[in-house]
Chains A and B, each alone.
Chain A
Amino acid sequence: MTRPVDVLLAATRFETDEHHPHIVIDPVACRTCPSDRACATSCPAQRYAWDDAADVMSFDHVGCLECGSCRLVCDRLRTGAPGYSWDYPAAGAGVSYRQG
């Protein structure tokens, strides 16, 4: 029994800034990933998924738990390579824990 991640994330509150992703990647440049695409397995919210058909990385900042795991396992996010950045969401946006 592995529930779809959307079922889990539906229990958590988000105040998403739809138009301004706080994490930016280059889905095409991810083709030459030097990090074994560890984001796809390490992200606790499964926001990253390798799309075999399109040969790109898909990423959705909506539902991001802001833990920072991808910032560590992805060499490009960690070093701030061109096309890659990791920031805090602006002005109260993003995950909003009620239990913590």
Chain B
Amino acid sequence: MDEEVFDAIVVGGGFAGLAATYRLAQAGRSVLLVERGATCGSKNLTGGRLYTYALQALLGDDWREAPLQRRVTREIISLLTEQDAVNIDTTLGSAPEESYTVLATPLLEWLAARCEEAGAMVVTATTVEGLLVRDGVVRGVKAGEDELEARVVIDCEGINPLLLERAGLIRPLDPHAVAVGAKYVYRYGSGEEVDRIFGVRPGEGAAVLGMGAVTRGVFGGVFCYSNADSVSLGLVLDSVAWKESGHSLLDTAEALHEHPAIGRYVAGGELVEYGAHLVYEGGYDTLPELSGAGWLVCGDAAGLCLNRGFTIRGMDYAVMSGIAAADAVTGALDAAAGTGPLGAAALSGYRERLEAGLLRDFRATRGAHDWMAATTDLFTVYPQLAVDAMTGLYHVGPEPLTPVASTLWRAARQIKKPVRTARTLLKGVRTL
């Protein structure tokens, strides 16, 4: 057995794991990252949008060298019925460089190379089968014949945290806190074709968020992102509600291609990848234990993904949690006497860092997930109302015209219980 004891072993080379690894290596710590995929990024799937403040926090201005796709300058919210759509369309070209569309695999490969340059050891194609736990303290990981030891294990194994669940360190993933997503990537012959499809200038990008009939009444939505020379299209659905609906997930994803307002974004492209991933959206009150004796958990494994309906954020929180974990570990290593594993108390600074950082967002949106899951009108009634109102306004025929007020009143009358609806919406706005 290898006698070397690392300062830290990081499990999983996704956004959280690579961020933690990079930060620790930069602080001069000995860090080993173990990734089960053939390369870092080969097991990762994203909808496709990353907020750049997190890359800036990790890499400084070097983040501009990262292989990102397009700066998002156009936000489109699409309210969808079976055949029609009302879009809230924006051109926000004057906005700062807040977010880019991304493809996760090339970006993570690039980040892994930065980690190695910074002095970290990155081992791929190696599946960690269990945590080494002695006397209630995590002391390393088991991978094949090897037992690898470290003073702390930073678990970034993703949305299915088998290692932590099996060691009994966190509660099992709750189906009520999870959505399931499917995604297609279509490639075009040139970036100009993507410019044309989305009506953007070269290098600029669009992000489409669709809600309505495409999820068959279930809490969820459609996303579509312009990449450099490809387009990402996908569907995210609440796991439990979808199970109860009995619909086929694949058929529903395929039906997107038939929707006139959605299918046009990918028509004529060559399918170059189909994938699927779970999305954590339980919110603050369902978060697991975040650290304990000899271990910390970051990113998806920690449930650090937030769905507010119009945005789903996970990668930026993964990066920020990786940074917080690395900084907490560095502080604990500096303060610790001896060379043994870091105890639970020594690592409690991680929770404090998160509470002062990204968990503020999670506290502010308590209840948002439950509200959206319970308010199915969002996915049925309101998109239909929007379409009816617009259809009425723009209808012209031989009969006498209908005054605008009558058109809007007719649409509004479809709301069955207006007072209750207003109350429900107000409640929702407070949680979002």
Interface residues of A (CB under 8 A from B): 1-3, 5, 8-9, 11-12, 15, 35-36, 38, 41-46, 65-69, 71-73, 78, 86-92, 94-100
Contact = CB atoms under 8 A, between A and B. Distances in A.
B41 interface: yes
A36 B244 CA distance: 9
Interface in B146-195: 159-160, 162, 172-173, 175, 178, 180-182, 184-185
A3 B254 contact: yes
Interface of B: 36-38, 41-46, 103-108, 124-127, 144, 159-160, 162, 172-173, 175, 178, 180-182, 184-185, 230, 232, 239, 242-243, 246-251, 253-255, 257-258, 271-278
B243 A44 contact: no
From DSSP, what is the main secondary structure of chain A's interface residues? Answer: loop
B43 A66 contact: yes
Contact of A100 (B44, B126, B253, B254): B44
Contact of B175 (A44, A45, A66, A73): A73
Contacts of A35: 243
A2 B251 contact: yes
Contact of A8 (B38, B42, B243, B274): B274
Nearest to B273: A99
A68 B160 contact: yes
A92 to B, nearest CB: 3
Given A2-B254, A69-B239, A72-B178, A95 B38 contact: no
Given A72-B173, A89-B127, A99-B230, A42 B36 contact: no
8 contacts: A1-B258, A87-B162, A88-B127, A92-B124, A97-B45, A99-B232, A100-B105, A100-B108
Nearest to B258: A1
Given A11-B272, A36-B243, A97-B42, A2 B250 contact: yes
A42 B182 CA distance: 11
A9 B34 CA distance: 27
A42 B175 contact: no
Contact of A69 (B41, B254, B278): B278
Given A38-B243, A65-B275, A97-B42, A92 B37 contact: yes
Contacts of A86: 160, 162
B382 to A, nearest CB: 26
A44 B182 contact: yes
Contacts of B45: 97, 100
